[in-house]
A and B are shown apart, each in its own frame.
Chain A
């Protein structure tokens, strides 16, 4: 009995002095690490629209159109596995360690329009 009382007293003391085990999210931001997988982002300026990310996506969440120069991701389908970032030959897709913001719409398709291609330098004769 004395042992149980001592264990309980230790626990109560820890709980009183140690603060809560949880945190008051969103007032206090969620704990995150450098390696945390939050959501996928792209530097569209560097993209060459090769479509490797789309081919390697296990959830078929990415669509790439070379003629239109667009890169599209369906956030609801994305399983945040980092497969596209690994497949990208230009390393322009990367994983952010911040979770995607909450949304109210059920449609979570993000279409990103790339810049116009730089004009080709004229051949010197």
Chain B
């Protein structure tokens, strides 16, 4: 047995977009154990629910995460609407779905760029982010914000998209989808990517399920969990099946995300084809009294907003459980036994978003 050393990894590390700290116990070049710790970017956003009106808190809910922002506001609004028995117009449901899927596309493309960067594949990184820019432009043109869209509100949505713009978005998505498919060939077939990812960071299906993995981390291990199947927003009317890969390594997690980008583009096109005319919001009167667990599928996995109101305009409690938090135990499991040089790649495959895990 060789001598054991503890190598600190993070919170400031070139490969990490956000601060997570790992104490890596290594023997020679092998990682024996990884001890994670978070707590560097806590902002206390849950506490703010007591001092902001529930309708205004949507803006804060949206700022929990800088990437899946729209889906956080959707989860919050959905929760309040269920507590207050508000019937949201059908068109609003479709618009919410369209923007959710745009968020997923931009999040996955961002991740694919970062992942390529972690492998040292700079060209691919720039290619992914070049495509992502078109998605961000579509979001800015329709909602006013590139990432923080601010278009969801309790009772519907704030902004409508004209029929002409929807048609234009649909044809743009054809082009984006073709570009992503072309780029995906590099992710799937290039020997650099395969060398760095195949067989690295293996997690078995049982472990993924037992340790509570969610989102692409779970789907990459063969666990077909996708909260979109539970049927919120307009998803019940759309035809989709969760993307599942069975290998359980970094390569299959990458494949899940790469395929989901194309699937999201398809879902948006389906939604555009089926979107009904009508109102986009209803007037919400009164205050929420009751509690509800609102579940949505974020780009990283399942996100839960627990909301509790007592009949006043201020909620009593909001609790958010983000997908990154549940993906940390599987990450620790994946890291045990890997090579020191593979740690950045493995950490990135769970797509850590510490900003929203700590709020």
Q: Which residues of A are interface residues toward B (Cβ below 8 A)?
A: 7, 21, 31, 33, 35-37, 56-58, 79, 81-83, 95
Contacts and interface: CB of A to CB of B under 8 A. Distances in A.
B56 A37 contact: no
Contacts of B141: 33, 35
24 contacts: A7-B182, A7-B185, A33-B140, A33-B144, A35-B140, A35-B141, A35-B142, A35-B143, A35-B144, A35-B159, A36-B145, A37-B144, A56-B53, A56-B56, A57-B56, A58-B52, A58-B56, A58-B59, A79-B63, A81-B59, A81-B150, A82-B150, A83-B59, A95-B144
Majority secondary structure, B binding face = helix
Contacts of A58: 52, 56-57, 59-60
B70 to A, nearest CB: 13
A36 B140 contact: yes
A36 B159 CA distance: 12
Contacts, number: 39
Interface in B197-241: none
Given A31-B137, A58-B57, A82-B150, A21 B145 contact: no
Contacts of B130: 21
Given A37-B145, A58-B60, 8 more contacts: A33-B144, A35-B140, A35-B143, A35-B159, A58-B57, A79-B148, A81-B59, A82-B144
Nearest to B190: A4
A107 B142 CA distance: 32
A31 B56 CA distance: 29
Nearest to B137: A31
Nearest to A86: B158
4 smallest CB-CB distances across A and B, nearest first, come from A35-B144, A81-B59, A37-B144, A58-B59
B52 A21 contact: no
B133 A21 contact: yes
Interface in B95-147: 126, 130, 133, 137, 140-145
**Max chain B C-beta neighbours (<10 A), residue from A31, A36, A58, A82:** A58
A42 B214 CA distance: 46
